Structure 1
Amino acid sequence: MEEAVVRPLAVDTRIRPVRATSVTVTPEAVTAPGEASYDIDRPTAEAAPRRRSALTFLRTHFGTLAGTAIVAVLFWRLGTGVFLDGLRRIDGVTLLAGVGIGALTTVFSAWRWCVVARALNVGVPLGPAVADYYRALFLNAALPGGVLGDVHRAVRHGQSSGDMGRGVRAVVLERTAGQLALAVVGVTVLLTMDSPVLAQTRHTAAVLAPAALGALAIWAAVRMGRARSASTGGRGGRLKALLAEARGALLARGSWPAVLISSVVVLAGYVAMFLLAARVAGATASPLQLLPLAMLALIAMGLPLNVGGWGPREGVTAWSFGAAGLGASQGLTVAVVYGVLSFAASLPGALVLVGRRYGSLRARRQTPDGGAEPQSFEVTTEKYAPKDSTNPASSSLPFSAEARDGRPMTPESV
């Protein structure tokens, strides 16, 4: 009788990968009958573009939003009666005085632009320069941001001169010269004259001076380290060329006296406008007491956080008048009067816009084919005429120009 042989069963103990199966979840699978179904993937897909668009909007309009917030907080704390009181105090004589002071500052600003542009070989005649400057001032005051008028002036000058780069740089350097004059005079007045912010200004200067010296030392070291790349025409070479161009335009023997005189006259006109607004608002302080407060307000106006110039100027003026014991409400009234006078001084720019629009339409009607437009109605001399290599500006004002790269020129694209 044979014995039965019992063999153990072979057990496979190896770990084998399990193939994953994709499961598609549909709205019907997760939604009870009668309930609304939702697309699960749609919020995730649309969240990123929505966040990007929100960030882009915030970055583009941050200055306008900040200026609006400042004005809203001031009116919330001090009331809208301060604004109305400032408007009631303005009469016809005050408006005429403001327009006269504005004419003085505009002519000297345009002269400074002519000097800088001539040094860059993109000269502009004084007459068209005054008209263009008035138009830029009006657009700065009427549009959010406070700089779109200067952007438009720079682009139109670049197109008309035939050199877009130098035309834009001429406007930038002209504005920089004015801001440098304001900074030098303003800091000197705030550090030397007795004012309610004298101690704070000196303390801030003592803190910022070592930081500025350290930054200057780092910049000098970096420049020395990149001297070789500058000699070969790299990024350092381009920066060196731009600095040399700015030095030649502002500090050359034939430029710096006119730039200095015009900047001082323009700054004096701004201070005179502030003192006029203070008198109209009922301030009894002397001009020497008001001068540091005026410098603070003018420096605050240079911050890109305003709506047509409104915002930081009102906040700083209200604070400084309150610190000087003159009352924050009176400071806000002074700022309101100053803003109205500045806007009135820029109103000739609106006449320039209307007149040039009418001139372009009349020239279009006189064109034989009825559709072609003249190259530029701003051309007055051969030097200022557009070259063949540039696209002429369209007569549609204030911002349209010939399309470049398939896009129309708008304030956002500029």
Structure 2
Amino acid sequence: MPDRHKLVIRLVAVVGLLVAVAFAVDLDAAITSLLDANLSLTILAIILVQGQIVLSAYRWHFTTQRLGRPLPIGRAISEYYLASLLNMVLPGGVGGDAVRATREGKAREGAADKAYGVAASAVILERLAGQVAFFMVAAVGIACWPLLLEDTLPVGTGWLLAAPPLILGALALLAWVGTRLAPRPLANWLKTLGPSIRKAWLTDGAWLIQGALSFAIALLYIAVFALASAAIGAPLGLLAAAALIPLVLLTMLVPISIGGFGLREGAAAALWPLAGFAGSDGLAAALLYGVVSIVGALPGALLLLKRSSAASSRA
């Protein structure tokens, strides 16, 4: 299927989901809450987004060091800002990471295939470390559910918890098959993935740094959403934030929308009443979270402008 058709499908999905949510809740109340959002809390949320991006960039910097291809921290931060912005506005939520890996591969010296292989490994392992930590945080939040709300978890929660081991198992199987059936360059790269995981995550205490960074980043994501909810007048308590927000953020991993829009709003509108707020509050909080995330990543636009200017000057 051509890329433009996929983009149209995702745009239709986002609009359709948002329209469905708008019909399910009090849209006027959601818009009013959004327009009356507390400016101080919104600014604080934007500041915390900077912490997410900088710590994530340092995790990438650390991962590349472990793989023997040091990446200057300044370049890591600027590239991560760009990738974060692109992830919020491109379909699938990983387009920015693909751009990050490609740009870093081009910047490397030596054989092109080796440079791109290391760059791709570093990006994949850095993001995967974050996803593993976030699923662990989500599991803790779900364990808090009976303490906060009710014994019955939302429909689909079991699948969310089962997804990580299932996905990891499927990826391991694909990697094993790929080492035997894939074209030689890809097979060679897959054979290096296991040793790369050990270097980046496990040996010489790397797991301590990877774990500390990844859990800190996961908590920052939750804090930003909690601030967005508080800003629109629906402050969540600690247990409510731990139980609800990870479930909402997990929906953003489903690659059928753009930047998680639509799925995130639908999940928040469904879950916020469980904490004593209206569905319209969940919609407003999720929309504000999306805006805050984009605004927080806007410094990435400076890199895009710089790149465009450099290309124009060479033309």
TM-score, length basis structure 2? 0.81
Give the match for residue 132 of structure 1: 79
Give the match for residue 156 of structure 1: 103
SS at the partner of 1:252? helix
Give yes or no for the alignment of 1:269 onto 2:220: yes
Any conservation in 1 of the 2:90–2:259 contact (CA below 8 Å)? Answer: yes
Give the match for residue 305 of structure 2: 354
Any conservation in 2 of the 1:83–1:336 contact (CA below 8 Å)? Answer: no
Distance in 1 separating the partners of 2:198 and 2:14: 34
Distance in 2 separating the partners of 1:201 and 1:134: 34
Any conservation in 2 of the 1:190–1:197 contact (CA below 8 Å)? Answer: no
Any conservation in 2 of the 1:140–1:146 contact (CA below 8 Å)? Answer: yes
Give the match for residue 81 of structure 1: 28
Which region of structure 1 is more displaced relative to structure 2, 95-104 or 151-160? 95-104
Q: Structure 1 residues 203, 111: closer, same or farther in 2, change over 3 A?
A: closer
Any conservation in 2 of the 1:305–1:311 contact (CA below 8 Å)? Answer: no
Q: Structure 1 residues 263, 207: closer, same or farther in 2, change over 3 A?
A: closer
SS at the partner of 2:204? coil
SS at the partner of 1:306? coil
Give the match for residue 137 of structure 2: 185
Corresponding letter in the other structure for 1:67:
V
Any conservation in 1 of the 2:93–2:255 contact (CA below 8 Å)? Answer: yes
Give yes or no for the alignment of 1:142 onto 2:89: yes
Any conservation in 2 of the 1:120–1:249 contact (CA below 8 Å)? Answer: yes
Residue 79 of structure 1: how far off its partner (Å): 5.1
Query: Pick from 260, 271, 276: which aligns with 1:309?
Result: 260
Corresponding letter in the other structure for 1:325:
G
Q: Structure 1 residues 304, 284: closer, same or farther in 2, change over 3 A?
A: same
Question: Does 1 or 2 have the higher relative contact order (CA < 8 Å, sep 6+)?
Answer: 2
Give the match for residue 45 of structure 1: none
Give yes or no for the alignment of 1:109 onto 2:56: yes
Q: Structure 1 residues 284, 174: closer, same or farther in 2, change over 3 A?
A: closer
Give yes or no for the alignment of 1:199 onto 2:152: yes
SS at the partner of 2:152? helix
Give the match for residue 367 of structure 1: none
Percent of aligned pairs sharing the same letter: 30
Higher helix proportion (structure 1 or 2): 2
Distance in 2 separating the partners of 1:205 and 1:71: 25
Which region of structure 1 is more displaced relative to structure 2, 256-265 or 73-82? 73-82
Query: Pick from 198, 207, 232: which aligns with 1:256?
Result: 207
Q: Structure 1 residues 361, 60: closer, same or farther in 2, change over 3 A?
A: closer
Distance in 2 separating the partners of 1:264 and 1:320: 24
Runs of 5+ consecutive residues of structure 1 not aligned to the other structure: 1-51, 365-370, 372-414
Any conservation in 1 of the 2:226–2:236 contact (CA below 8 Å)? Answer: no
Give yes or no for the alignment of 1:97 onto 2:50: no
Residue 335 of structure 1: how far off its partner (Å): 0.9
Distance in 2 separating the partners of 1:282 and 1:179: 30
Give yes or no for the alignment of 1:342 onto 2:289: no
Any conservation in 1 of the 2:84–2:300 contact (CA below 8 Å)? Answer: yes
Distance in 1 separating the partners of 2:191 and 2:25: 50
Q: Structure 1 residues 197, 117: closer, same or farther in 2, change over 3 A?
A: farther
- Kindly report the root-mean-square deviation, in angstroms, between the aligned alpha carbons of the 2 structures: 3.5
Give the total of aligned pairs.
301
Residue 191 of structure 1: how far off its partner (Å): 2.3
Q: Structure 1 residues 203, 305: closer, same or farther in 2, change over 3 A?
A: closer
Residue 296 of structure 1: how far off its partner (Å): 1.0
Q: Structure 1 residues 63, 181: closer, same or farther in 2, change over 3 A?
A: farther
Corresponding letter in the other structure for 1:306:
S
Any conservation in 2 of the 1:86–1:337 contact (CA below 8 Å)? Answer: no
Runs of 5+ consecutive residues of structure 2 not aligned to the other structure: 110-114
Report which of the two structures shows the higher radius of gyration computed on alpha carbons.
1
What are the Cα deviations for residues 306-365 of structure 1, in whole angstroms up to 9, with x where unaligned? 222312111111111123432211111111121121111111111222234335555x3x
Residue 94 of structure 1: how far off its partner (Å): 3.5
Residue 196 of structure 1: how far off its partner (Å): 3.9
Query: Pick from 267, 281, 284: which aligns with 1:330?
Result: 281
Residue 178 of structure 1: how far off its partner (Å): 0.7
Residue 125 of structure 1: how far off its partner (Å): 0.7
SS at the partner of 1:96? helix
Give the match for residue 112 of structure 2: none
What are the Cα deviations for residues 208-230 of structure 1, in whole angstroms up to 9, with x where unaligned? 87xx79x97xx89xx7xx9xx79
Distance in 1 separating the partners of 2:234 and 2:273: 12
Any conservation in 2 of the 1:318–1:332 contact (CA below 8 Å)? Answer: yes
Give yes or no for the alignment of 1:176 onto 2:128: yes
Residue 207 of structure 1: how far off its partner (Å): 12
Distance in 1 separating the partners of 2:60 and 2:106: 16
